[in-house]
Amino acid sequence: MIPRPLQLMKREWSHTKTGFSLIEVVLSTAVFILIVTAIAGAYLYGEQATMLSGSRQRAVMLAEEGVEAVRNIRDPLFTNLVDGTYGLIMSGNQYNLSGASDSDGFFTRSINIATVDSKRKDITSTVTWQQNPQRSGSISITSRLTNWIASGATALKSMVIYGDGTTVPKFRTYDGTANTFSAATATATSSSGSTFILRTSPNNYEALAGFVTAAGVLNVMCYDGTAWSQEWSVTVGGTGSSRRFNISYETNSGDAIVLYGTNAATTNELAYRVKPGGSGCGAANWGAAINLNPARTSGVVQWVKMAWDRRSSSNLVTAIWADSNSDLSAMVWDGTTWSNEPSTVTEASLEVVAAAQDVEDFDVEYESISGDVMVAWANSAGSGTVNGVRYRTCTGGIAACTWGATTTPPTFTDDATNLDLAANPNTDEMVFASIGNAASTLSLGYWSGSAWTDTNNVDTSCSAPLAGTRLVSAGWLVSGTTTRSVITYHDSGATNIGWYVGNAGVFTVQTDFVVSPVFVSPQKYYQIEMNPLSKDQLMFCLSGTNLYCKRLVMTAVPGFTWTNADGSAALATTMPQAINSPFSFAFVRN
């Protein structure tokens, strides 16, 4: 018989002998190590991917900066560009070519200059970097620069073109140094224009203008710095109550493209013609008209808008258009063909004032760094208490970008009968402004590059938009490290400039600029154009019975100064119509 204490010890031992064996401990430890290793590896991979993405974005910015620096070196004298490979240095607030490369941290940049012909040079800006001992990176951007101040030529100037009630449209050049406009001068045609678009080439000595007559004929003209020439004409329909065409230049090549409505429904509602960037003015330099048959357009095209990708290596252009059924669609130009129309309807019920499509209530812009596309418009469901704003993006920065779903931005509570969208020239930010005719209120929005921050009803007593009006316009100013958005709008009964300044998503009302002379009623069409060569400046023009242009300059403080660039006198007093851009202003781009 076992003594009782030993029986107890035996029972206790039998209850505890179920603990972990050595093999179980080893296996558990191994599994734990594998899990920790996987988590650590995923973390390190994510960190490395983030670093690689950030490095590439920084390299792109340095490469683009290289091209812009060489452009500035070219501006005073074309012979500054000598063939070879160089670095860049800053001396006396001016870029200069020096050595074979320059560096910024672990990035190395080299600039190659190669002659194309006596008036053109190819510039290749290459940035390389070593991310770690196993990974290296390289990116190159190429652009073609022209001797735009060629021997015997007059420097191309910024300008405004407009109709003045006569049979020949007029233009005035703008001298940014003196802040003055020249006297009115006749263009090339003997037709009276109702609605205008003016564009300047990014790298050639040239400007293109298009206008539609009251009989619905589109005339395209070209300016070589000395004289205008009539290029071609085509019937687009309408009477000037809408704008059925638009003009754009490819940023890198300088090729020009004109996209226009054919005044036809169901099939081939659009057509286009292209002029190579290496050719000058002249009807013989244009390609033949090519029809375009968008799948999601069946009515007669009433409005066409285009935006170009600002990236120096890109030839992308995005077009959007509205037809007589109040449908909205889009396509992307890749430098050769139009493609990538969204596979789903963008909008089938655009906002109207009285009839389809009697108002320009949509816009398109490119993000300046990513090359993503933003389209914004007004849906007919909007009212004084219902958000009518919609937007859609195309991401990827390529012609085959990915179209996102139609989306309603947050917090707006009104319609958007008149609207404008403007992209920051240095970042992926955008600013949006709209006035609805249901409650006559001004709403403002800020796009960070990934999301909207919106502020509705910042002014509840604006003038009500009518058919063909645009009573709001937006832009950006950049001075040093200071960036601000600017919105001008038609405050009810105002005879001066009503405006807001935006710092990211915070908008602040400004004291009206008292213009000279005061604006006379009616005010019908607003346009802001940003100066791409002096980003601290923009031009604001408006038309009604008269045409006025005022300049705004921002300092790095920031401080803002408006001036009467028109010389305190109307640039025209007999506009052909008050609505639908009876004028167009454009800054020189190179």
pLDDT along the chain (590 residues), means of 10: 46 48 70 68 57 78 91 78 91 80 92 86 92 81 76 72 92 96 92 93 92 94 94 94 96 96 97 94 97 97 97 96 97 98 96 93 98 98 96 98 97 96 98 96 98 96 95 97 97 94 98 95 95 96 96 97 98 92 94
Q: How many residues does the chain have?
A: 590
Of residues 283, 414, 420, 431, the one with CA closest to residue 368: 431
Q: Which residues contact 459 (CB under 8 A, 6 or more apart)?
A: 441, 442, 489, 491, 498, 509
Q: What is the pLDDT of residue 38?
A: 62
How far is the C-alpha of 381 from the C-alpha of 347, rounded, in Å?
Answer: 12
202 token code pair? 């990014």
Which are the contacts of 504, defined by CB distance < 8 A and separation ≥ 6? 429, 446, 448, 453
| Gap between the Cα atoms of 412 and 391, Å rounded | 13
Residues 365, 315: Cα–Cα separation, whole Å: 14
Token digits of residue 378: 């007004």
Q: CB of 469 within 8 A of CB of 524?
A: yes
Q: How many helices (H) and strands (E) does the chain have?
A: 2, 39
Q: Tell me the two tokens of residue 472.
A: 């709001």
In the sheet with 217-223, reading across from the earlier edge strand, the strands are 195-200, 207-212, 217-223, 228-235
The reported pLDDT for the residue numbered 93 is 64
In the prediction, which pLDDT does 43 show?
55
Number of CB atoms found within 10 A of residue 83's CB: 10
- C-alpha span between 235 and 264 (Å, rounded): 11
Residue of 307, 310, 322 lying closest to 257 (CA atoms) = 307
Place of tokens 């300047």: 200
Measured from the Cβ of residue 504, the count of other Cβ atoms closer than 10 Å reads 13
The β-bridge partners of 375 are 364, 392
* Structural domains for the chain: 25-146 (no CATH), 158-586 (2.130.10.150)
Closest CA to 260 of 285, 227, 286: 286
pTM, entire model? 0.79
Q: What backbone phi and psi angles, to 5 degrees, belong to 292?
A: -130, 125
Q: Residue type at 308?
A: W
Distance between CA atoms of residues 338 and 341, nearest Å: 8
Residue among 95, 158, 164 nearest 123 (CA): 95
- Per the CB < 8 A criterion, the answer to whether 325 and 347 are in contact is no
**Residue among 166, 219, 163, 216 nearest 193 (CA):** 163
| pLDDT on residue 239 | 86
Rounded to a whole number of angstroms, the distance between the first and last alpha carbons of the chain is 110
| β-strands 547-554, 560-563 pairing | antiparallel
Q: How far is Cα 518 from Cα 498, in angstroms, rounded to an integer?
A: 12
Both structure tokens of 257: 């493209």
